[in-house]
Structure formats: C-alpha cells, structure tokens
Amino acid sequence: MLNETLFPSLARARAATALWRSDYKTAWPHSQIAWQTPDEFASTFPPRRSLALRYANGSAQATVA
C-alpha cells in the first residue's frame, strides 16, 4: 500500500483530483444534459427513498390464504 509520507506527490495528486472533481460537478455545463452542471441536473429528480424502507416487510410475496 502506498504511504503518503513516502510519496508526498500522491497526496498532492489526490488533492488535485478532489478539486477537479468538485469543479467538474458544480461548474462545468454538459451538452448532453441541456447545458446544465451534473449537480443541477441531479437536483431535477425527486429524492430516492431508502432501500431499507422499501423492503421493510421483506421481499417475499404475501400469502394468499
């Protein structure tokens, strides 16, 4: 496993990647999603319910009798 104390450039690369990813999702509009940023596009969908709530009673069908 790489150690950031032995490879300080790895820490800089991770920080640069995190900044780029944040900028990409919040500032860059994309033509395939009507020139919206990914965050703007994602906000147009209703929030998803938790899967735990969706299957709270189990996934098996109810008995007929």
> Shortest CA distance to 38 belongs to which of 46, 26, 47, 48?
26
Q: Would you kindly state where each structural domain of the chain is located, as residue ranges?
A: 29-57
Task: Confirm if 12 and 2 have CB atoms less than 8 A apart.
Answer: no
Q: Model-level pTM?
A: 0.50
Query: In this structure, what token pair is assigned to residue 62?
Result: 């109810």
From first to last of its 65 residues, what are the pLDDT tens digits of the chain?
A: 555 566 678 888 889 899 999 998 888 898 999 999 998 998 898 877 665 555 556 666 666 66
What pLDDT sits at residue 10?
83
Residue 30 β-bridge partners: 36
